[in-house]
Amino acid sequence: MLKLLWDPADGRVLGAQVTGLAGVDKRLDVLATAITGGLTIDDLAQLELSYAPPFGSAKDIVNLAGMTACNSREGLVEPVDALPEDPVVQIVDVRPPALAQKFPVPRAGVINIPLAALRQRSGELDASRPVVTVCALGKTSYFAARILAQRGFQVQSLTGGLRANFDPRSPAKPPAP
């Protein structure tokens, strides 16, 4: 998990927190260097970091944090730090059904529409009501919020997902059968 703090006035990276297992030290080193060097969220999105398929993806979590911050700044996604209590807000859990059933979102009336089916099933949602998307870590709900925003919904994405907000043991993927 990575939390990024940046200045909305100029996009300068001000701070970061990273938790996890292998590779945390690398991300912290990159982010500490970014802070010292006065880099911006735009710079993070474009950083060229070492890449090898067994150890990491082509776009590192540091790149993704920069891209997410840029999209937030540009109004392409609106983050929210807590689930609203307002019953008018539709809470959409975009995790696979097995995860949604085993580790439910602790709110009544949550609608489970997996990300892969969201485009086809977005008609199940009331476009006149606000939506908050939820997943395990925040990444999938971010993508879901972008999809729904492009379809005209007023939508927010829960930052950090269920792990950061409710249950740190909640897995991101269902266990293998």
Would you give per-residue pLDDT tens digits along the chain (177 residues)? 788 899 999 999 999 988 777 788 888 989 999 999 999 999 999 888 877 777 667 778 888 889 888 988 888 888 888 888 899 999 999 999 988 888 888 888 899 999 999 999 999 999 999 999 999 888 899 899 999 999 999 999 998 887 666 665 665 555 555
pLDDT value, residue 53: 73
Q: Yes or no: say if 78 and 145 are a contact pair by the CB < 8 Å rule.
A: yes
Domain boundary among 73, 104, 128: 73
What CATH number does residue 131 fall under?
Answer: 3.40.250.10
pLDDT value, residue 146: 92
Residues 97, 37, single domain; the answer is no
Domain-embedded: residue 160: yes
Domain-embedded: residue 93: yes
Q: Yes or no: say if 2 and 44 are a contact pair by the CB < 8 Å rule.
A: no
Domain-embedded: residue 33: yes
Residues spanned by the domain of 107? 79-165
Domain-embedded: residue 174: no
**Domain total for the chain?**
2
The CA angle 62-75-2, to the nearest 5 degrees, is 20
Domain-embedded: residue 177: no
pLDDT value, residue 10: 94
pLDDT value, residue 77: 81
What is the rounded CA–CA span in Å between residue 42 and residue 75? 15
Domain-embedded: residue 170: no
pLDDT value, residue 169: 61
Q: Which residues of 88-121 are buried (b: 16+ CB within 10 A; e: fewer)?
A: ebbbbbbbbeebbeebbbebeebbbbbbeebeee
pLDDT value, residue 26: 86
Which two three-digit tokens encode residue 78? 């609106």
HEC-encoded secondary structure of 63-84: HHHHHHHHHHHCCCCCEECCCC
Q: Residue holding tokens 């792990």?
A: 163
What CATH number does residue 45 fall under?
Answer: 3.30.390.30
Domain-embedded: residue 175: no
pLDDT value, residue 153: 95
Domain-embedded: residue 15: yes
